[in-house]
Amino acid sequence: GEEVAQTPKHLVRGEGQKAKLYCAPIKGHSYVFWYQQVLKNEFKFLISFQNENVFDETGMPKERFSAKCLPNSPCSLEIQATKLEDSAVYFCASSQSAGVSPLHFGNGTRLTVT
Amino acid sequence: AQKVTQAQTEISVVEKEDVTLDCVYETRDTTYYLFWYKQPPSGELVFLIRRNSFDEQNEISGRYSWNFQKSTSSFNFTITASQVVDSAVYFCALSEALNAGGTSYGKLTFGQGTILTVHP
């Protein structure tokens, strides 16, 4: 498709439950990025992929967070045992090589942990 | 380390006024990309422009224009004849360009955002 598709749009989880977010990058884009937006304005980089390989995971919390991009499947971001502070909007972005395409974001998934 | 500063937290203008949003960045990289994104109240991030570090030509797109000044590490954004629909949070962002089997964006460093409110 021509847009980055993120599902679900909203996700509510009780503290301690698992949350799984999905991202289908634009067709032909080999790079995928995940960002967390907390408090409306602050963006935090989480992880990036080149195809199914982790490219940069320096932003991923060491515990509870994991991500995958498998062939022929949407990419996923999973949070085990969610905490209140995980409440945020999670954005996914994709691109071809930097010289070719801009970085387009999906509409985000709003995760609320209660 | 990379840093992006949007010193204006909030700007309020009346429709048809021109408004400039400031963005100052810091990086040690020689090759990098600068972006502007718009985040309307509905929450999505709308791509506005990408500029690479080797292209200092200013750009105009309709009512939008961008002034890239490498000498002052600034990438300012001007909206001419603002409209109510321009009300949003605007983010400036910086990414290094990496080479690892292909040129890729490094992680984006975002500014804090500028809340623009355009009153009728």
pLDDT tens by residue, A60-113? 998 999 999 998 899 999 999 999 999 999 999 998 876 667 888 999 999 999
Residue B104 scores a pLDDT above 80: no
What's the pLDDT score for residue B77? 97
Residue B113 pairs with which residues in a beta bridge?
Answer: none
**CA–CA distance from A22 to each of B19, B23, B94 (Å)?**
37, 32, 25
Q: Please state the rounded mean pLDDT for residues B13-35.
A: 94
Is residue A1 very low, low, confident or very high in pLDDT (cuts 50, 70, 90)?
low
Query: Chain-centre distance of CA A29, in angstroms?
Result: 15
- Largest Cα span, chain B: 50
Which chain A residues touch B107 with a CB distance below 8 Å? 33, 45, 48, 56, 58-59
Residue B102 scores a pLDDT above 60: no
Residue B83 scores a pLDDT above 50: yes
Q: Please state the rounded mean pLDDT for residues B8-29.
A: 96
Residue B101 scores a pLDDT above 70: no
Residue B90 scores a pLDDT above 60: yes
What's the pLDDT score for residue A93? 94
* Chain A touched by B21 (CB under 8 Å): no
pLDDT tens by residue, A12-48? 999 999 999 999 999 989 899 999 999 777 899 999 9
Residue A112 pairs with which residues in a beta bridge?
Answer: A12
Q: Closest CB to A95: pick one of B101, B105, B107.
A: B105
Q: Please state the rounded mean pLDDT for residues B51-79.
A: 92
Residue B65 pairs with which residues in a beta bridge?
Answer: B60, B78
Q: Where would I find the beta strands (DSSP E) of chain B?
A: 3-5, 10-14, 19-21, 24-26, 32-39, 46-52, 59-61, 64-69, 74-79, 88-99, 103-110, 114-119
B window 61-90, beta carbon within 8 A of A: 89
What's the pLDDT score for residue A98? 63
Q: Identify the CA nearest to B116 among candidates B52, B48, B54.
A: B48
What's the pLDDT score for residue A85? 94
Q: Please state the rounded mean pLDDT for residues B104-108.
A: 79
- The first and second tokens of residue B38, run together, are 């718009």
